[in-house]
Amino acid sequence: MAKVDTSSSRPYHIVIFGASGFTGQFVVEEVARIVSEGPNGTLKWAVAGRSRQKLDKVLEQAAGALGKPELRTEVEVIVADVGEPDSLAAMCKQAVIVLNCVGPYRFWGEPVVKACVENRAHCIDICGEPQFLESMQLNYNSQAADEGVYIVGACGFDSIPADMGVLYTREQFKGTLTAVESFLTASTGPEGGSINDGTWKSAIYGFADSGKLRSLRKKFGHKPLPVVGSKIKRRYRELALFYSNEVQQYAVPFMGADPSVVKRSQRFLLEEHQETPVQYGAYAGVGGVANIVKMLLAGMMFWFLVKFDFGRNLLIKFPEFFSFGFFSKDGPTRKQMEGSSFQFAFYGEGYTEGQDPSQGQPNAKIRTLVQGPEAGYVATPIAMVQAAITILNEPTALPKKGGVYTPGATFARTTLVERLNKHGIQFSVI
């Protein structure tokens, strides 16, 4: 049995590891905003990382941004390094939950998972790298179960909106939902927008190692999930580009972790709760012709260069050039973040109550939305922190045993969606 111990045996409910990183700084601010939502109305927390000086600076920055001068003196600082296992163990022993913000996870994530499992700290990350997420499940699920520890990956924009969005759509559907397609669109304000190059690096190494992901998946020995109802149809042909009437713009298959995360959640819910698996297709809007030209040029350069060491080095060194400014070493400014937002539109189909999904075509449809603020550094901290708050406050609604889980598997029986609604990530039926 898994256990979430919020008593005084561990000094901190939450420790933010990698708090001085680009994303980590915004996770710090989000935790500082919601301390009253912790167990019994209080939250004990600390920040951790390699440099005490940088961590102090992040707390100073958060104190100024939020008008909370007490952060400078009341939040403890823990020095820990992924290259020093003893320091990770000492950190994990002090935490109920570790929020791991140190990426790319394929390089730095496993030592944190290992330390959390061995020292019985639950762990949440914001990884969007399927190879890391699935290798952690393969290598640590059994041990995490034995220790009663929850290791929950992909708890940021990758992939809480998609994974919980599919579950929300199924809950709202009156009958048996059998297939969902999602269409992601994002908008920026007059200041524009960009993404920190940490995400760019993760994509580079992910595509370079795509063959390893295929071989990794074979080790699970999974049988294909049963197809209930009509088989979902692929929207595109050779170029992986099509015009979507749903979002009134050109779209491409979504290249992130969402499809694999959703599939893992559906497998868990089938095996553990005998729920009908939902087929899932994920797409992203890319806008008009000018954006398509940029995307094709960037895509061709990326696909060529990512195959070679020298090419990967060039991509890493010059993210703005090779992504036409979409990624940058500096990331977005606060003004850019304030003007940005995202929207997932989910289109589902299935069979009304009393209809047999094995007979005939689906006879009912549903449309839902998940929308929220800037995806990478506003919505991601909100999602990550609310995932942690849910674990702390709703332990009896979580899976009975520990393990390496997806958000959908972990939070299907909780009020995470309601919590997100209160914090600006809105789930609704259209």
Phi and psi torsions of 196, nearest 5°? -60, 145
Helices assigned H by DSSP within 130-192: 130-147, 160-172
* Three-point CA angle 117, 85, 386, nearest 5°: 45
For every one of its 430 residues, what pLDDT tens digit does the chain have, with 9 covering 90 and above?
A: 787 888 778 999 999 999 999 999 999 999 999 999 999 999 999 999 999 999 999 999 999 999 999 999 999 999 999 999 999 999 999 999 999 999 999 999 999 999 999 999 999 999 999 999 999 999 999 999 999 999 999 999 999 999 999 999 999 999 999 999 999 999 988 888 888 888 888 888 887 877 788 899 999 999 999 999 999 988 877 668 899 999 999 999 998 899 999 999 999 999 999 999 999 999 999 988 888 888 888 888 988 998 899 999 999 999 999 888 888 888 899 999 999 999 999 999 999 999 998 888 999 999 999 999 999 999 999 999 999 999 999 999 999 999 999 999 999 999 999 999 999 999 999 9
* Three-point CA angle 222, 411, 246, nearest 5°: 80
Name the one residue in this structure whose structure tokens are 């390893």.
212
- Distance CA(306)–CA(313), nearest Å, equals 9
First CA to last CA distance, the chain: 39
- Rg (Cα) of the chain, in Å, rounded? 21
Please list, residue by residue across 350-386, b when 16 or more beta carbons sit within 10 angstroms of its beta carbon and e when fewer do.
bbeeebebeeeebebebebbbbbbbbbbbbbbbbbbb
- Distance CA(350)–CA(355), nearest Å, equals 9
Q: Give the three-class secondary structure for 311.
A: helix
Q: What is the CATH number of domain 12-156+379-416?
A: 3.40.50.720
Q: What is the CATH number of domain 160-372?
A: 3.30.360
| Torsion (CA) 316, 317, 323, 328 in degrees, nearest 10 | 100
CB-CB contact of 297 with 291 (8 Å):
no
Domain map of the chain by residue range?
12-156+379-416, 160-372
